[in-house]
Amino acid sequence: MPNGTFNGFAKLLHWLVVVLLVAQFAIAWTMPDVHRDTKPVDLIAWHLSVGMTILLVMVVRLGWRTVSTVPPTPAGLAVPLAILSRVTQFSLYALLFALPVLGWINANARGWTVSLFGAIPMPALVATGSGWGHQMGDVHQVVAWVLLGAAALHVTGALFHQFILKDSTLRRMLPGHG
Ligand code: HEM
C-alpha cells in the first residue's frame, strides 16, 4: 500500500464494527434476563439481529483483509509490544467470530430461529433443548467480557502509538487520512 494507510473499505468496516459493538453491549446490558420461557422479542430480538449483523460484517472484513493489502506496522515498536499487538488483533478477530456463533448456538438451543436482518433464516447449529447449547449461553457471557478486555487493550495500544510514540499508527485507520 503506497501511502501506508488502510483502504477506505477497510476503515469503513472497522468503524462499522465499533458502532455495532457499542450498540450491542448497550442492548445486552439493557435487555431483560433470558430465562427458560423468555421469547426472543423487543430488545432480545435486537440483540440477535445486531449480533448476526456483526458476524456478517466480520465475514466480509476477513474476506476483504485476505484480498487487500494490509499496510505494514510502523517500525520501531519493541518486540514484546509488537507481539502483544499482534496477539490482541488476532484475538479480536477470533472473538468477534466466536461470540456471535456462541450466541447463535444458545439461541437455537432455546428453540429460537436466528435470522439475518429479520428476513433470511439461518440454519440451526444445535437442536432445541441441547444441554451443550444451553451451556454455551454462559460461555457467551464470559467471552463478551474477554472481548471487552481485548478491545480495551486495543484502544490503549492505539492511544500509546498516538500520544507516547507519536507515530502514524492511529491516523492510518482514521477517515480522511491517506
Ligand atoms: C459481538 C456480538 C455479541 C455481543 C458483544 C454479545 C454480548 C452479550 C452479552 C454482554 C450478554 C450478557 C447480557 C447480560 O449481562 O445479561 C449476552 C447474552 C446473550 N446473547 Fe449475546 N452478544 C453478541 C451476539 C449474539 C448473537 C449473534 C446472539 C444470537 C443469535 C446472541 C444471543 C444471546 C443470548 C441468547 C444471550 C443470553 C444468554 C444467557 O443468558 O444464557 N448474542 N450477549
pLDDT per residue as tens digits for the range 114-154: 999 989 999 999 999 999 999 999 999 999 999 999 999 99
**Is 86 a member of any domain?**
yes
- pLDDT at position 141 is 98
**Is 96 a member of any domain?**
yes
Q: Is the shortest distance between the CB of 150 and ligand 1 below 6 Å?
A: no
Residue 95 corresponds to which cell in the numbers above? 472473538
State the DSSP code for 110: T
User: Which value, to the nearest 10 degrees, does the dihedral of the CA atoms of residues 157, 162, 167, 168 take?
Assistant: 90
For ligand 1, the distance from its centroid to the CA atom of residue 106, given in whole angstroms, is: 9
Ligand 1 nearest-atom number relative to CA 114: 30
- pLDDT at position 178 is 65
**Is 2 a member of any domain?**
no
Which CATH number do you get for residue 26?
Answer: 1.20.950
The boundaries of the domain holding residue 162 are: 8-173
Domain count, the chain: 1
State the DSSP code for 68: S
Residue 11 corresponds to which cell in the numbers above? 476503515
Q: Is the shortest distance between the CB of 51 and ligand 1 below 6 Å?
A: yes
**Is 132 a member of any domain?**
yes
For ligand 1, the distance from its centroid to the CA atom of residue 140, given in whole angstroms, is: 6
For ligand 1, the distance from its centroid to the CA atom of residue 147, given in whole angstroms, is: 12
- pLDDT at position 72 is 81
**Is 178 a member of any domain?**
no
**Is 152 a member of any domain?**
yes
Q: Find cell 488483533 and name the residue.
A: 89
- pLDDT at position 1 is 37
Q: Which residues of the chain have pLDDT under 70?
A: 1-3, 178
Calpha distance 178→168 (Å, rounded)? 11
**Is 3 a member of any domain?**
no
Question: Closest Cα to residue 51, out of 135, 122, 127?
Answer: 122
For ligand 1, the distance from its centroid to the CA atom of residue 84, given in whole angstroms, is: 27
Q: Is the shortest distance between the CB of 124 and ligand 1 below 6 Å?
A: no
Q: Is the shortest distance between the CB of 133 and ligand 1 below 6 Å?
A: no
Calpha distance 136→70 (Å, rounded)? 34
**Is 78 a member of any domain?**
yes
For ligand 1, the distance from its centroid to the CA atom of residue 47, given in whole angstroms, is: 7
